Each structure stands twice: as C-alpha cells, then as structure tokens.
Amino acid sequence: MTTTPASLDDVTASATSLRRFLAGLPGVDQVGAEARAATLASRSIKTTAKQYALDLAIRMVDLTTLEGQDTPGKVRALSAKAMRPDPADPSCPAVAAVCVYPDLVATAKQQVGTSGVKVASVATGFPSGRTSLDVKVADTKDAVAAGADEVDMVIDRGAFLAGDVRTVYDEIVTTKAAAGDAHLKVILETGELATYDNVRRASWLAMLAGADFIKTSTGKVQPAATLPVTLVMLEAVRDFRVATGRQVGVKPAGGIRTAKDAIRYLVTVNEVAGPDWLDPDWFRFGASSLLNDLLAQRTKMLTGRYSGPDYFTLD
Amino acid sequence: MPSDARLDVRKTYKLFIGGAFPRSESGRTYEAFDAKGNFVANVAQASRKDARDAVLAARKAYGGWSTRTPYNRGQILYRVAEMLEGRREQFVAEVQAGEGATKKQATAAVDASIDRWVWYAGWADKIAQVTGSANAVAGPYFDFSVPEPTGVVAIVAPQESALLGLVSVVAPAIVTGNTVVVVSSYERPIPAVTLSEVLATSDLPGGVVNLLTGDPAEVAPWLASHMDVNAIDLTGIGNAVLARSLEQEAAENLKRVVRPQPTPADWAVDPGIERMTTFLETKTVWHPIGI
Amino acid sequence: MADSVFEYAPAPERRDIVDIATSYGLFIDGKFVDGSDAKTFKTISPASEEVLAEITEAGEADVDAAVKAARRAYDRVWSKTSGRDRGKYLYRIARILAERSREFAVLESLDNGKPIRESRDVDVPLSSAWFFYYAGWADKLDYAGFGPDPKPLGVAAQVIPWNFPLMMLAWKIAPALAAGNTVVLKPAETTPLTALLFADVVQQAELPPGVVNIVTGAGPTGQALVAHPDVDKVAFTGSTEVGRAIAKAVAGGRKKLTLELGGKAANVIFDDAPIDQAVEGIVNGIFFNQGHVCCAGSRLLVQESVYDDVLASLKRRMATLRVGDPLDKNTDIGAINSAEQLARIKMLSEVGDAEGAERWSPPCELPDDGFWFPPTIFTGVSQAHRIAREEIFGPVLSILTFRTPAEAVEKANNTPYGLSAGVWTEKGSRILWMADQLRAGVVWANTFNRFDPASPFGGYKESGYGREGGRHGLEAYLAV
C-alpha cells in the first residue's frame, strides 16, 4: 500500500473503508525508528544554531498547567510568565500559548489580553475522554465561549484499541465543528496506543477528520512524548501534506524537560518534516518546567555563565 | 595498651537489599567469630521479613537486569572483578581470619575469586551460542532454541568457603540475567558483607544481588516456600534432613533445585557451565519459511 | 510557512586530544624501531590533503624481523601463557581502548576521512567490544565446539584495508590472540595511524613483546608478509583481486587462509516494507562510511509496485545528508579515502552515464581541497550494467526493480560476490524465505550494516571464506 492514495474521500466514506485504509498504511519498524531518532539526537547544535533554536523553542512553548489544584491565582501568574518569560531580559520572546482547563480560560484570556500569546484549552473530558459525546461537545463549547483560541481534545483510545475507528473519527469531526474558529489539536495519547503502527494510524485518522494539530500526550500517562513517537508523527504530517496539500502541525507534550531535549525535537522537525514546520504555527511544545531550562541555557549563551534556579521565576 | 595507639573505627555489618544496606527489620544480630574463636563483630541476623523484602527487591530488579544486553552484563561483572582487585588485601585478611587459612591459602582463594568473576563475565555473551541452536525440523519452519534466565534464584552459600565458594554460586546465576537472594555462610559471614560493598560500587543495579547474613536453617525455609522464587540452590545446607524438607517445600511451585553436594566441593577447579545452565530455561520458537 | 531556516553551525571535534608524531617507525618486539632501508611514505588527511605524518615502509628484512619476533614470542611466552592470562591481557586492551576512545575516534577520522560521528559511535566502540568479547573466549576454548583443548596455529600474518582501520585491526588481532597465536599486522598504507597508536595501547597493557607486531607499508610489504615461510596463518581483508592473488600465492603450502573480500550486495525492498525505515536502511547501506564498505548495499532492488514512492522518499531523505569536514560532529558523509579511490568512483560513475543509467545527487557544496564525492544514485540500471556488477566502493547506489520474490532472489544472487544482502518486508515468513534463498554470508532483515563481536560475518563465493565474530570466528585461528 502506498502512502499517497489517489483519493481520500472514498477512504472516509464508511467504517470499513476507513479501517482498511489505516490498516494498509506502511508499518513502522520499532528498532529502525528509534535508531533514526537516536541519530538525530546526536546532532551537535552549537553557537548561533543553538541561539536560534533556543529562541524558537521558547516561542513554541504552550505553557501548561492542568492540575486539580489550579486556581485563578495560579493561572494569572502562569499567564504573566507566558507573556514575559524572563523579567530580567526584555529581548526574550514570549511563548506561543498558555494551556489550561476550560473553567480557567476566561482568567487566562483576561491576563494575556492582546499580547499575542494564545489561550489553549483542553476539552472533551481531558485527560481520559471517558465520557459521553454530549459532555465532550459541551466541554468544548464552554472553552470556546470563554475565549479559547485553541482546543486540545483527546481521542477515545478505548474505541481506537477496540477497532472502532469510525467512532474516533466522528468524535473528532464533531468536536472540530463545536470548536468553531478555534484551532483543534487532537491528542492521541501515544503512551496508551502502545505501538508506532497505531501512532501512525491514529495520526492519519485525526488528520482525515480535520485536525489542525496532532498532539502526542495529555502528560498524565507515562510514557508521554518521546522523540521516536514524535518522529513517526512528523512523518505522518509530511506524508499527509504530500497526499492532500494540507499542512497539519505537531505538538509533543509531557516529559520534555531540558533545552537539550527541545533542540533535539527541532532537529527532528527540520530533517523529517522539513523547515516549513519550524514555526510556532506548526510545532509546539506542551511543557511547564522546560521553559526555565530554555531560559537558563539562553542566559548562559548570552553571559557565558552557568545559571541557577534563583534567577528564573517559578511562575 | 600504649596511650597514643589509634583507635579504629569499626564497621557495622548490615544486610544488602535492593542496593542499600539496611539492618534486619527484626533488630537482631548474632556474634561472628574468627577461626580462632575471637569475637569479630555483631552481624545482622536476617529474618523471614528480610527474606521477603529481598525477594521483592530481586523481582523488581529482574526485568531490567534480564533485558540488558549480555555485553553490558559482562562489562558489569568485569567491573566487579576490578573492584575486587582493589580490595585484595582486605579480602585476604578476612579469609585468613574467617577460615583459619594461611596467608598463602587465603591469597590463592582471593585470587581465584577475582579470576572467577572474570571467567563468568566472559560467558555473558557466549552462553547462547554454546547452548542455543537452530534446529533442523522436518518442515518449512525456521526453528531455534535460545536460553533465557529463569528469574529470581535463592541461594544458600557454602558454609566453609567464605569468599570463593560464595562467588562461585552467585556469579553464574546473575551473569545470564537472573537476580538472586543469597544467604551467606553462617559462621563466616564477613567476606560476604565486604563483597556486598564491592557489588554496590560496581555499577550492578540494586536488587540484582541481595545478601542476607543469618542462619540458613531459619531463613532458607521461607525462601524455599516462597511462590515468587523460581529456583533454589541448596549448596550450603549441610543437614540432609533439612535439605530434603527444603526440596519438598520448593516443589510447591516446581522450583528448579540444586541439591547440596554429598562431598565438599573443590571450588578451585574449572566450574563448567552447569551452574549457568541450571538457572536457564530453553525457549524454542517456530516460524514458517515462505514467500 | 516558516520564517527561518535552521542552519547548523560548525560543531568541530577538537583535534588536540590526539598527539600525532611527525614520524613513526615499525612496532616490532614491543618497541618502535627504524626501518632497515630508510624508505618512508606520507599519510595525509583526505579531507584537506594535509600531511599528518611520515610512515616507515617495511622492507623484506623488516618483515622478517617482525615474523621472527612473533615466532619467538609464540614459542617462549605466548604458547605457554594460560588462556586465563591471555584473556586478561585482552580485557586490558579492551578497557584501555574504551578509556582512550575519543583520541582514537579523532585520529581515525583525520587519517581515514570518515565522519567523527561514525568513528566515535561505531568504529571505536566496536573495536573495544571485539577485544572484550574475544578476551572471554581465551580461557573457554574447550567450550567453543572444536573439541577439547584446541591448539593455536602459531604466527598469523594479517593484512587489513583502509575502510575501517582500527575496527579491522580489532577483528584480526582479538581472536588470534585469544586463540593463542601471535601476530604481524600490516595496516593499509593510507590509514596507518590508529594501528600505530594501538601499539601504545599494547605497551600500556604490558602485553609481552612480540605478541603483536605492526609493520607499515604498501603492496610489497603485504606480499612479503604473506609469502614469509615462517607464517602459519594468513588473514586478509581487502579487494577480491588481491585476495585471489594471495590464494594463489599460498597454494600448495601449509598456510591456512581466510579472506574477507568485496561485495555488491543487493538491498531488497518489498511492497510491504516499513517504508521510512527502509529508506533509512538504503541510506545507511550505501552512504555509511562513504560507501567504503565491502558489505555495502550498493544495489537497490525495489519491487516495481512501490518504486515511485521509494524513490521519492529516498531523494527527499538524501537531501538532508550533510557532506563535509569529517571532524564536524554533524557531518554525515566524509571524504573519499584517497585520490585513487576518488578516481575509480568517478570513472565508474562515468561508465554508468555512458551505459544509459540516469545519475542524480542532491545539491551539495563540496570543499575545494581533499577528495569528495556527493551521495549519488543511478536509476534505470539493469543487471547488464557495469555499475550493477562491479564494486564501486563509494557513495554510489545502483537502483534496479523486480516483480516477484523469486525474481528478487535471482537478481540478488546473480553476482560472483556473496557477502551480504538486505531484505525489507513486514512479513516474517518472507524474511526467512529470502534469508534461506540468498547466497550471502550475512542477511540483514529490516536493518543494515549491523556488526557485533558475537555475530559471525563473512562471505560466500568471491567475497571470501572464513568468518569473523562469534564462536565461528575462532576457527580461523585454531588448528581444527
């Protein structure tokens, strides 16, 4: 089966055709994919390249707080940091977005105002997605009504693993409609999908259903984002654009803690999907503690000194 | 005693479980003496709960240890030899004192122990080629057999040979990927505790070797009856009646059993590969050959 | 669309970690000595043509001295050294190589032209691992399957090529010493430096003098070594042409011989291959080490039904290959080892053009100094083309198609060579069927260019005979 089918409308026409199409996608050899990721991770990014990558990575961060204990105070502080990550250095760029639960979207929106930092909201019964479609739609509409620019939805992994790809597809289509103008990121929860073959299939499924972004994880399940999983998703968005002309973004989330990791992801984006994806419109990092390490490395490049946690705000 | 003689700092002899050195949960110790009858130290006396904890630690460590590359396990065992070499004098003194050996005998035993680790280190990535096979079945199938570690192995170490005997029962079990719970010689426990310190500094993951000082007659039955122990080596059980009863206990979950030898072993001779193969399972795989 | 381009800044590995002497003698009987007739040659960096050092050319008298030293060491010391102790020496060597790995990696890239990432991540670790592996066999020969107490052969003459200088040295010396032999080794004339630095490791390990001797030189030195009457065993890795000559030279005598020669391996991609990993395998198969690999996947056999997709993916992937300074950590493809080799690659590529195949390379900037060739593919190639039959030994891939598994096998086997082959398919039965049918000593399924000291490597037919690696690798050095 080739990766560029002649027509994709037939594919989504029925549950059977959808399932067959996904099953017919080329498999992913685990060892080979992981070896390629490891080689990409061995690239040495120094000096000007490192400065470029650090600034780009900062601009790609979706600064995230998704905890039961989140309060308006916490979200206001996070939003302030998102707009001004390094109070000591005004040349430091702002991040791409803050990412919060739907009931805190309004608070975040009020804080970021017209600064250009977007507000992303999780929805559809995040993180488990184990609730009715009506509740998922209501969740989405609440987020959008409160002002979310982006919606990060979760797919029904139970349905996917049980082979009911039609349900997964329909839910994404419905959620996209409910999201209106907001950009839709579809969280695959790759840790639960377990195989790279499944990640490839779920990626295509989400894109066929209209996803603007495909996202690795909720961050609540281990393993969350990994370099090989992201590599497979980057291959999928690359192939999808070749097949359909439509570009879809990628967001690894959870487990990316160091600037070094982030730079490895950017190298992978560069060499697998291509430079068109090296932009916050097409690639994001779902992270919280990553930002401070990016700032620390940025500071080291500018001052020559290793820094410490006292010099960066906690939020 | 001269008034300006330096007072030594004396070691506390503890158990080695999960890479850490806890005292016995029972709080008990027993007195260890040298071969001349002099008091050496209060040594931790392991209880059934310590044995239980050690098995848990060994099981936890098994997944990681058994899936490391054989090359990596070989390197770690070689590192144990490197660390042992550094402590040669200490071990010679301890073996001399514990076994009542001459310096020459003790030195020979320690050197043999170090060399034995080196010997076993070299087996890690070779045992599969020697015991595995591609099998010529009568059909279009690729059929192969590979050795795999059995799991958690309980070992009662030899009573007489405090270091060489101990090394000779532990190394072959772990080189192939098993993890072990060892009960050391009751009367000669000191080299075993020093060996634990060596293992703790050899990049050996915690839990791969767990060492309990104490009375085998008390501890071994709990290991023999433990349903999450896959094999038991009764080499250090001198009492035939006890050995039989332990073997019967072990039969409850069909543990692989190594019986004590009827005559005392000569640990100096070439061990052969039996102590490795005893704790290996054989997995045979079939796959059709066709277009 | 992105508003920026990710340029990787230079990331050079520092050269100053390794001390290169201005000149080197021959390593005979545990120390460096001058050559008997003051003949020398230069070794250069193929990336810049800079002279790295002056090397002694060993003449017949020098070769004789080396063999005598090896014989003395064998008779008086090494044949009396226990397996256990031989193993300990080899363990020392393995550990020292690991400790000095960065030094060796930098030196290898300088002298050979291969990217530092490869010498650092592949060549040097495998070299250390080879010594570590065979150290473990030295005192276990009874278990190796050759009967009880197998004996060594005596003195081994070993001639190695320029493509993996240190690694080929390890493949030769480790099993020879483990089995109880002493050796005289001649590294290739364009890449002697890591062998000469290895002499330092031998001294640090306090290996008895004469157990390992290293004589540098070119063809004539090799011939003298192979022809020496007091050599019991000859091991050669290099071209089929020279291998053939050696086989003729030892004919009728008592010397045992093993050869690891050229190849023209088929890399077979089926329609159900994991395409992205297969493309990696193709790239790795022919562009790893600039294609200077005897087992390189130099013939791509693609199932016709997926030809367009595979070709498009391959070209896209090739465009991200970085050709440049071997010491830059981001370089994927380094320099061609010598002017001679570059001339051969160019000549055969021109033959490819002339025979009607279509040449393609991604755009890349090649430096002015040094020897460079871009990663290149030829499409429209058939079995009758010279570029499908002759070993180019460079980053040049000939692409052919096939329809059925049987046809793939037929084409893959249709060559005098038989070193390696690659198979890409998700179907297990087919992997095993192909492995069964392919007349090659190494079959890589869903992977390529994997080497391990535990894994026997060697060829069928004109790719040579004998195996290196694994239990099998001991056979060449035992009287069995």
Backbone angles phi, psi at C404, to 5 degrees: -125, 165
Dihedral angle over CA of C68, C72, C73, C77, nearest 10: 170
Does the beta-carbon distance from B74 to C432 stay under 8 Å? no
Q: Which of B126, B287, B289 is nearest residue C140 as measured by Cβ atoms?
A: B126
Domains in chain C: how many in total? 2
Give the pLDDT score at A1: 37
Chain C nearest CA to B123, separation (Å): 7
State the ipTM, two decimals. 0.94
Using CA atoms, how far residue B72 sits from B77, B123, C105, in Å, is 9, 12, 21
Q: Which of C442, C418, C441, C423 is nearest to C433 (CA)?
A: C423
Q: Which of C393, C335, C295, C260 is nearest to C108 (CA)?
A: C335
Residues 427-456 of C with CB under 8 A from B: 428-430, 432-433, 436, 453-454
What is the C-alpha separation between C262 and C462, in angstroms, rounded? 8
Does residue B91 belong to the interface with chain C, where contact is any CB pair within 8 Å?
A: no
What's the pLDDT tens digit per position in C129-153?
Answer: 999 999 999 999 999 999 999 999 9
Element of type H or E holding C85: helix C83-99
Residue A2 has pLDDT above 50, yes or no: no
Q: Which of A1, A36, A66, A39 is nearest to A219 (CA)?
A: A66
Q: Which of B71, B273, B290 is nearest residue C429 as measured by Cβ atoms?
A: B290
What is the C-alpha separation between B3 and A205, in angstroms, rounded? 85
Does the beta-carbon distance from C91 to B118 stay under 8 Å? yes
Backbone angles phi, psi at A257, to 5 degrees: -110, -25
Q: How far is CA A136 from the centre of its chain?
A: 19
Q: C405 contacts in B (CB within 8 Å)?
A: 291
Give the pLDDT score at A300: 94
Does residue A57 belong to the interface with chain C, where contact is any CB pair within 8 Å?
A: no
Q: B71 contacts in C (CB within 8 Å)?
A: 129, 132-133, 454
What's the pLDDT tens digit per position in A117-152?
Answer: 999 999 999 999 999 999 999 999 999 999 999 999
Q: Which of C129, C136, C406 is nearest residue B126 as measured by Cβ atoms?
A: C136
Long-range contact pairs involving B195-201 (C-beta distance under 8 Å, separation at least 24) = B195/B84, B195/B163, B195/B166, B195/B167, B196/B16, B196/B21, B198/B80, B198/B83, B198/B84, B198/B87, B199/B16, B199/B80, B200/B16, B200/B19, B200/B21, B201/B83
In order, the DSSP letters of B171-226 are HHHHHTT-EEEEEPPSS--HHHHHHHHHHHTTTPPTTSEEEE-S-HHHHHHHHHH-
Sequence-distant (≥ 6) Cβ neighbours of residue B244 within 8 angstroms: none
Q: Which of A3, A45, A276 is nearest residue C1 as measured by Cβ atoms?
A: A276
Give the pLDDT score at A138: 98
Facing residues of B152 across strands? Answer: B179
Does the beta-carbon distance from C6 to A267 stay under 8 Å? yes
Q: Which of A283, A254, A303 is nearest to A59 (CA)?
A: A283
What is the C-alpha separation between C364 and C371, in angstroms, rounded? 14
C-beta separation of C166 from C112 below 8 A: no
Q: A275 contacts in C (CB within 8 Å)?
A: 2, 4-6
Q: B75 contacts in C (CB within 8 Å)?
A: 132
- Whether C169 maps to a domain, the answer reads yes
Give the pLDDT score at B262: 84
Assign residue C380 a region: left if phi > 0, alpha if psi is -120 to 50, beta otherwise? left
Does residue A270 belong to the interface with chain C, where contact is any CB pair within 8 Å?
A: yes
Q: Is residue C129 domain-shared with residue C231, that is, in the same domain?
A: yes
Partner chains of C (3+ C-beta pairs under 8 Å): A, B
Does the beta-carbon distance from A47 to C272 stay under 8 Å? no
C-beta separation of C284 from C449 below 8 A: yes
Sequence-distant (≥ 6) Cβ neighbours of residue C118 within 8 angstroms: C109, C288, C289, C334
Locate B70 and state its tokens: 């054989």
Residue A259 has pLDDT above 70, yes or no: yes
Nearest CA in chain C to A283: C2
Beta strands at C233-237 and C212-214: parallel, antiparallel or unpaired: unpaired
Q: Which of C309, C329, C447 is nearest residue A44 as measured by Cβ atoms?
A: C329
Q: Which of C6, C308, C447 is nearest residue A32 as measured by Cβ atoms?
A: C447
What's the pLDDT tens digit per position in A50-60?
Answer: 999 999 999 99
Beta strands at A150-154 and A183-187: parallel, antiparallel or unpaired: parallel
Q: In the structure, what pLDDT confidence band is assigned to residue A314 with cuts at 50, 70 and 90?
A: confident
Q: Is residue C326 domain-shared with residue C386, that is, in the same domain?
A: yes
Among C57, C189, C260, C391, the active-site one is C260
Region A261-274 average pLDDT: 98
Backbone angles phi, psi at C411, to 5 degrees: -70, -40
Residue A224 has pLDDT above 50, yes or no: yes
Residues 117-146 of C with CB under 8 A from B: 129, 132-133, 135-140, 143-145
Q: Which amino acid is at B148?
A: E
Dihedral angle over CA of B228, B229, B230, B233, nearest 10: -170
- Whether C4 maps to a domain, the answer reads no
Task: Please give the residue range of the domain that contains residue C241.
Answer: 15-261+460-477
Chains B and C touch (3+ CB pairs under 8 A): yes
Nearest CA in chain A to C122: A39
Q: C102 contacts in A (CB within 8 Å)?
A: none
What is the C-alpha separation between A97 and A120, in angstroms, rounded? 6
Mutate to test the interface with B, among C85, C130, C142, C433 (most CBs of B within 10 A): C433
What's the pLDDT tens digit per position in C155-200?
Answer: 999 999 999 999 999 999 999 999 999 999 999 999 999 999 999 9
Q: B83 contacts in C (CB within 8 Å)?
A: none
What is the C-alpha separation between B59 and B81, in angstroms, rounded? 25
Chain B nearest CA to C404, separation (Å): 9
DSSP letter assigned to residue C478 = B
Q: How far is CA C103 from the centre of its chain?
A: 20
Using CA atoms, how far residue C336 sits from C14, C45, C113, C126, in Å, is 21, 10, 6, 22
Does residue B71 belong to the interface with chain C, where contact is any CB pair within 8 Å?
A: yes
Chain A nearest CA to C319, separation (Å): 9
C-beta separation of C349 from C359 below 8 A: yes
Sequence-distant (≥ 6) Cβ neighbours of residue A253 within 8 angstroms: A62, A64, A187, A215, A216, A217, A218, A219, A224, A225, A285, A286, A287
Listed by start position, the domains of chain B span 29-288
Q: In the structure, what pLDDT confidence band is assigned to residue B2 with cuts at 50, 70 and 90?
A: low
Region A209-225 average pLDDT: 97
Helix segments in A122-270, DSSP class H = 133-145, 157-161, 165-179, 190-193, 196-208, 227-244, 259-268
Q: In which order are the strands placed within the sheet that holds B280-288?
A: B133-134, B141-149, B280-288
Locate C439 and state its tokens: 């007349």
Among C294, C391, C462, C475, the active-site one is C294
What's the pLDDT tens digit per position in B253-263?
Answer: 999 999 999 88
Region A185-199 average pLDDT: 98
Residues 255-284 of B with CB under 8 A from C: 273
Which fold, A30-311? TIM Barrel (3.20.20)
Chains A and C touch (3+ CB pairs under 8 A): yes
In order, the DSSP letters of chain B are --TTPPPPPPPPB--BBTTB-PPPTT--EEEEE-TTS-EEEEEE---HHHHHHHHHHHHHHHHHHHHS-HHHHHHHHHHHHHHHHHTHHHHHHHHHHHHT--HHHHHHHHHHHHHHHHHHHTTTTTHHHHH-EE---SSSEEEEEEEEE-SEEEEE--SS-TTHHHHHHHHHHHHTT-EEEEEPPSS--HHHHHHHHHHHTTTPPTTSEEEE-S-HHHHHHHHHH-TT--EEE-TT---HHHHHHHHHHHGGGT-EEEPPPSS---TTS---SHHHHTTEEEEEEEEE---
Element of type H or E holding C256: strand C256-260
Report the 10 Å Cβ neighbour count for B69.
12
What's the pLDDT tens digit per position in A90-116?
Answer: 999 999 999 999 999 999 999 999 999
What's the pLDDT tens digit per position in A156-173?
Answer: 999 999 999 999 999 999
Q: C277 contacts in A (CB within 8 Å)?
A: 28-29, 32-33, 36
Residues 451-480 of C with CB under 8 A from B: 453-454, 470-471
Does residue A35 belong to the interface with chain C, where contact is any CB pair within 8 Å?
A: yes
Chain B nearest CA to C292, separation (Å): 28
Q: In the structure, what pLDDT confidence band is assigned to residue A3 with cuts at 50, 70 and 90?
A: very low
Q: Which amino acid is at C52?
A: L
Residues of chain C with pLDDT under 50: 1-2
C-beta separation of A33 from A243 below 8 A: no
What is the C-alpha separation between C185 and C67, in angstroms, rounded? 10
Locate A11 and state its tokens: 């594919």
Partner chains of B (3+ C-beta pairs under 8 Å): C
Region A21-38 average pLDDT: 96
Helical pair A227-244 and A196-208, crossing angle rounded to 10 deg = 40
Q: Which of A26, A45, A278 is nearest residue C2 as measured by Cβ atoms?
A: A278
What's the pLDDT tens digit per position in B116-154?
Answer: 999 999 999 999 999 999 999 999 999 999 999 999 999
Q: What is the CATH number for C431?
A: 3.40.309.10
Q: Which of C132, C428, C471 is nearest residue B287 as measured by Cβ atoms?
A: C428
Does the beta-carbon distance from A32 to C272 stay under 8 Å? no
CA atoms lying within 13 Å on the CB side of residue A78 = 29
SS3 A187: strand
Element of type H or E holding C407: helix C405-413
Chain C nearest CA to B208, separation (Å): 22
Q: C3 contacts in A (CB within 8 Å)?
A: 279
Chains B and A touch (3+ CB pairs under 8 A): no
What is the C-alpha separation between A102 and A119, in angstroms, rounded? 10
Mutate to test the interface with C, among A25, A44, A50, A58 (most CBs of C within 10 A): A44
Listed by start position, the domains of chain A span 30-311
Beta strands at C31-33 and B209-212: parallel, antiparallel or unpaired: unpaired
CA angle (B127, C89, C91) in 5-degree steps: 45
What is the C-alpha separation between A94 and C340, in angstroms, rounded? 55
Does the beta-carbon distance from C446 to A2 stay under 8 Å? no
Does the beta-carbon distance from C406 to B291 stay under 8 Å? yes
Give the pLDDT score at A7: 72
Start-to-end CA distance of chain B, whole Å, equals 87
Residue B1 has pLDDT above 70, yes or no: no
Q: Which of C1, C121, C309 is nearest residue A3 as measured by Cβ atoms?
A: C309
Average pLDDT score, chain C: 97
In order, the DSSP letters of A13-56 are SSHHHHHHHHHTSPP--HHHHHHHHHHHHT----HHHHHHHHHH
Residues of chain B with pLDDT > 70: what percent?
Answer: 99
Backbone angles phi, psi at B254, to 5 degrees: 55, 45
Does residue C9 belong to the interface with chain A, where contact is any CB pair within 8 Å?
A: yes
If you search the block for the tokens 């005596």, which residue do you land on? Answer: C154
Q: Is residue C151 domain-shared with residue C229, that is, in the same domain?
A: yes
In this structure, chain C runs to a length of: 480
Residues 360-389 of C with CB under 8 A from B: none
Q: Which amino acid is at C258?
A: T
Facing residues of C457 across strands? Answer: C468
Give the pLDDT score at A315: 75
Q: For domain B29-288, say whether CATH 3.30.160.250 is its number.
A: no
